[in-house]
């Protein structure tokens, strides 16, 4: 096997590895910055608030982050800004959908962190 074939085999192996590790995983790179909550009931409450008051649940989450979280201030500001955008964009339905999807992903991550039990 020449050098070019070895390089192609390594690239193929890396592509297969990345596809299997990230597919259908709510903790993948796309959601890597989502807060990790172990309280599933709180996550469900945030989802319910986001359904009826788009963005408000996201802003509440930003204010209720755990103290031991790394980069708490950045995450707090980011969630409050995200919630404000969801609220403003809810006028044209986009923010409402975004808010609900955010709540669903938050519940999924909380369930996976808590081994699926509520």
**74-100: b or e for each residue (b if 16 or more CB lie within 10 Å)?**
ebbeebbebbbbbbebbeeeebbebbb
Name the residue with tokens 């590790």: 21
**Per-residue model confidence as pLDDT tens digits over 38-88:** 788 999 999 999 999 999 999 999 888 877 777 788 888 889 999 999 999
Per-residue confidence at 24, pLDDT binned at 50, 70, 90?
Answer: very low
3-state secondary structure of 32: coil
Across the range 92-108, mean pLDDT stands at 93
**Burial tier of 114 (Cβ tally within 10 Å: 0-12, 13-18, 19+):** middle
Per-residue confidence at 3, pLDDT binned at 50, 70, 90?
Answer: low
């Amino acid at each position: 096997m020449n050098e070019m074939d070895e390089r192609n085999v390594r690239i193929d192996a890396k592509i297969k590895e990345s596809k299997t590790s990230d597919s259908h995983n709510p903790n993948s790179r796309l959601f890597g910055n989502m807060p990790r909550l172990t309280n599933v009931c709180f996550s469900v409450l945030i989802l319910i608030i986001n359904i009826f008051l788009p963005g408000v649940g996201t802003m509440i989450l930003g204010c209720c982050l755990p103290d031991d979280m790394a980069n708490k201030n950045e995450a707090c500001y980011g969630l409050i800004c995200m919630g404000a955008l969801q609220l403003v964009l809810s006028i044209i339905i986009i923010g409402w959908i975004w808010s609900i999807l955010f709540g669903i992903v938050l519940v999924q991550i909380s369930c996976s962190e808590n081994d699926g039990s509520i």
